[in-house]
Amino acid sequence: MTSLLLLIRFFPYDSSIDVPLTRIHLPLIYCLTWAFHATYVAYIIYKLRSLRKR
C-alpha cells in the first residue's frame, strides 16, 4: 500500500488546476497500460516454455 502511494506521488498533480480524481485516474491509466502489456508478454513466454517441453 505504501509503495502504491509512492507511485502516485511519481505523477504530476497540482491541486490548483487538477480535479481530485486526477490523482488516482492518471496513475491508473499508466499502470494498467504497463500491466496489460506485461501480462500479455508473460502469456507469450508461458506459451514459449510449454512449446519447449513438447
Partner 1 sequence: MRIDWRWRGLALVVMALLGYGLALALWVSPPDAQQGNMIRAFYYHFPDWIGASVFLPLNLIASVTYLAVRAKRRSLAMKADSLALASAEMGVVFCGLGLVTGSLWGRVEWGIWWTWDARLTTTLVLWLIYVSYLMVRRFSTGSSTAVLCAVLAVFGFCDIPIVYMSTRWWRTQHPAPVFGGGEGAGITNADMQGAVWWNVLAWVAWGALVVSLRYAVELRRQQLEAAEGLDLISERAYQGAAHD
The dihedral sign for the CA sequence 30, 35, 40, 44: positive
- To partner 1, the closest distance from the beta carbon of 2 in angstroms equals 21
1/17 with CB nearer partner 1:
17
Largest separation between any pair of C-alpha atoms in the chain: 59
Contact string (CB under 8 A) for partner 1, positions 5-44, x = contact: -----xxxxx--xxx-xx--xx-xxx-xx--xx--xx--x
- To partner 1, the closest distance from the beta carbon of 52 in angstroms equals 7
Whether residue 38 contacts residue 19, with contact meaning beta carbons closer than 8 Å, is answered with no
